[in-house]
């Protein structure tokens, strides 16, 4: 009898193990895994599939992975009209197809669309806020033939609401998870955009950045991000923080895809005066600058402020530097860029511009706006049971206390910011050293998400370009224990062509993009 009981127990254990194995799901068993724009559109030309079939597949993957399975929480809402839009595109003649024909795109949910999707900034205060018009960026994407799949989650109010916040958390859907290790943070504020691209829930996403909000989630999620010169892409119809520093930008798995998207979105918009400065600077096609030998003969400044802070990041960075040298780049070390105090001026500019920008945005929503002023927003949060559960709204209150953009205090900070970040910052360094670009590690590996203590950044390099309003491109450069790291390439205003050339030269020889496998924790 004892032997029989042992045999029964062993048999049950074997059946249990077999059952567990059968339940294992390969979340990367996807027909369009790692597809780029060129590959996708070749399939359309060859009639291997239709736009409707592709869109349906991505919608099913969002449901499988984002709303179920690993539950990434990167997508707030999918577009109820996505399949209808796809069918309309399928009916077009080949000659009518734009540069983003049939390409699925997710928009960060601070970018307006005048359709059946609200624009929320992740806030419960705007859960039922339906803009009256498309943002300029949404219009350009539709004209280029893209299919807007839905809205991506974000750090609420683009991570400028309160102190000790967790990147990727919003009151609407909660915490976005990193697709490499689910307990780790995706960074923000374009968290959902970065995660969705990395997890192959979309081909492209559009994020926004004031300081780090495109490049940091691109770093943590192992993708490419382009933060353009402020004014290259319109901000009209985007919930603002800073008139001086805000910009949308493309996020993709390859620089080529991000470059195609960049060219499709440029243009002068009468509703955004910053875009007037882009006249004679923007191009509708940046792909001619995708050169494999883009590093050859370039003088590149290596900004070493964070070197020595994290030895494993130093190792990956040093390897990337040696690769650039081997491909013909000359590397010049830089210890500092902007003078001390520049960051403080930036913060004050952001607060003053935030107050006026938010009030103007609420006014644009018309009579049916759920929130009509910054004061109303603060009052809503104080009464809500979820919004202030984990962190405060100190920045909203600080913005309310400013005199806005018509004050001398604001003008003084703005002048000091421009002098420190541009004249005495990036422009000075590049002039003195005759540089073509500046590089630095974009950030460290993703940290563990912590709702009580907030983000735990190791290093970051976004500020110099963000304060100046200058372009910044991040490219995957390696990994630490399976967590990706990026290299940033930044430089002067309107230097996107040169930065693309240099960054592409690096990308094509490093090829460090890693497909995430949704590990539950670090021990897997």
Q: Is residue 10 part of a domain?
A: no
Q: Is the pLDDT of residue 21 over 90?
A: no
Give how many domains the chain has, as a whole number.
1
Q: Is residue 523 part of a domain?
A: no
Q: Is the pLDDT of residue 466 over 60?
A: yes
Q: Is residue 522 part of a domain?
A: no
CATH code: domain of residue 476: 3.90.1300.10
pLDDT tens-digit series, residues 189-200: 999 999 999 999
Tokens matching residue 327: 């491909």
Residue 383 CA to residue 66 CA, distance in Å, equals 30
Tell me which residue range forms the domain holding 449: 37-510
Q: Is residue 515 part of a domain?
A: no
pLDDT tens-digit series, residues 162-176: 999 999 999 999 999
pLDDT value, residue 23? 59
Q: Is the pLDDT of residue 269 over 80?
A: yes
One DSSP character per residue, 237-294 reads TB--S-TTT-EEEEEESSHHHHHHHHHHH----TT-GGGGGGTTT--S--GGG--TTT
Q: Is the pLDDT of residue 18 over 90?
A: no
Tokens matching residue 270: 């009468």
* Catalytic (active-site) positions: 108, 189, 213
CA proximity to 234, closest of 179, 271, 199: 271
Distances (CA, A) of 407 to 91, 160, 352, 413: 54, 21, 9, 10
Average per-residue pLDDT for the chain: 95
Element (H, E) at 332: strand 330-334
Looking at residues 453-464, what average pLDDT do you find? Answer: 95
pLDDT tens-digit series, residues 204-252: 999 999 999 999 999 999 999 999 999 999 999 999 999 999 999 999 9
Q: Is residue 18 part of a domain?
A: no
Q: Is the pLDDT of residue 320 over 60?
A: yes
Secondary structure letter of residue 297 according to DSSP: T
Q: Is the pLDDT of residue 12 over 60?
A: no
Q: Is the pLDDT of residue 308 over 60?
A: yes
- pLDDT more than 70, % of the chain: 96
Q: Is the pLDDT of residue 14 over 50?
A: no
pLDDT value, residue 13? 42
- pLDDT more than 90, % of the chain: 94
Q: Is residue 118 part of a domain?
A: yes
Q: Which residues contact 342 (CB under 8 A, 6 or more apart)?
A: 416, 417, 420, 421, 425, 467
pLDDT tens-digit series, residues 351-401: 999 999 999 999 999 999 999 999 999 999 999 999 999 999 999 999 999
pLDDT value, residue 458? 84
Q: Is residue 20 part of a domain?
A: no
Q: pTM of this prediction?
A: 0.95
Torsions phi, psi of 414, nearest 5?
-65, -45
pLDDT value, residue 317? 98
Q: Is the pLDDT of residue 10 over 80?
A: no
Q: Is the pLDDT of residue 3 over 50?
A: no
- In the block, residue with structure tokens 């040169």: 498
pLDDT tens-digit series, residues 26-43: 999 999 999 999 999 999
Q: Is residue 379 part of a domain?
A: yes
């Amino acid at each position: 009898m004892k032997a029989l009981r042992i045999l029964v127990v062993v048999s049950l254990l074997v059946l249990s193990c077999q059952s567990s194995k059968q339940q294992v799901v390969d979340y990367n068993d996807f027909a369009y895994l790692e597809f780029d724009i060129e590959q996708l559109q070749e399939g359309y030309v060859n009639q291997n599939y239709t736009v409707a079939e592709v869109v349906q597949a991505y919608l099913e993957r969002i449901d499988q992975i984002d709303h179920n399975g690993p539950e990434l929480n990167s997508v707030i809402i999918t577009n109820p009209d996505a399949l209808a839009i796809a069918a309309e595109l399928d009916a077009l003649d080949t000659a009518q197809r734009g540069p983003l024909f049939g390409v699925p795109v997710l928009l960060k949910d601070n970018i307006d669309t005048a359709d059946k999707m609200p624009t929320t900034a992740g806030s419960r205060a705007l859960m039922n806020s339906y803009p009256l018009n498309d943002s300029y960026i949404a219009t350009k994407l539709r004209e280029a033939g893209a299919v807007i799949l839905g809205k991506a989650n974000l750090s609420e109010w683009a991570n400028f609401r309160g102190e000790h916040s967790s990147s990727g958390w919003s009151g609407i859907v909660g915490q976005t998870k990193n697709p490499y290790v689910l307990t780790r943070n995706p960074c923000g504020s374009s968290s959902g955009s970065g995660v969705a691209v990395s997890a192959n829930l979309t081909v492209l996403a559009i994020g926004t950045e004031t300081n780090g909000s495109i490049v940091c989630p691109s770093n943590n999620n192992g993708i490419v991000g382009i933060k353009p010169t402020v004014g290259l892409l319109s901000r009209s119809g985007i919930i603002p923080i800073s008139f001086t520093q805000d910009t949308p930008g493309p996020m993709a798995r390859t620089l080529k895809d991000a470059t195609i998207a960049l060219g499709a979105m440029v243009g002068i918009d009468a509703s955004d005066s910053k875009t007037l400065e882009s006249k004679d600077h923007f191009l509708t096609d940046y792909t001619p600058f995708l050169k494999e030998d883009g590093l050859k003969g370039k003088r590149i400044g290596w900004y070493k402020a964070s070197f020595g802070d994290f030895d494993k990041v130093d190792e990956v960075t040093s390897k990337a530097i040696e690769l650039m040298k081997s491909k013909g780049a000359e590397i010049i070390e830089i210890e500092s860029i902007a003078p001390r105090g520049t960051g403080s001026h930036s913060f004050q500019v952001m607060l003053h511009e935030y107050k006026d920008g938010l009030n103007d945005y609420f006014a644009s929503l018309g009579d049916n706006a759920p929130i009509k002023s910054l004061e109303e927003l603060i009052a809503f949060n104080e009464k809500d049971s979820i919004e202030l559960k984990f962190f405060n709204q100190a920045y909203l209150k600080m913005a309310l206390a400013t005199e806005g953009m018509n004050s001398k205090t604001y003008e003084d900070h703005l002048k000091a910011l421009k002098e420190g970040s541009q004249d005495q910052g990036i422009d000075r360094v590049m002039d003195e050293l005759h540089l073509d670009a500046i590089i630095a590690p974009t950030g460290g590996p993703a940290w563990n998400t912590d709702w009580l203590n907030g983000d735990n950044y190791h290093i970051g390099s976004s500020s110099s370009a963000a304060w100046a309003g200058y372009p910044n491109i991040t490219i995957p450069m390696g990994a630490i224990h399976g967590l990706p790291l990026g290299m940033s390439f930044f430089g002067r205003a309107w230097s996107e062509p040169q930065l693309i050339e240099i960054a592409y030269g690096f990308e094509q020889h490093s090829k460090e993009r890693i497909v995430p496998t949704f590990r539950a924790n670090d021990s897997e």
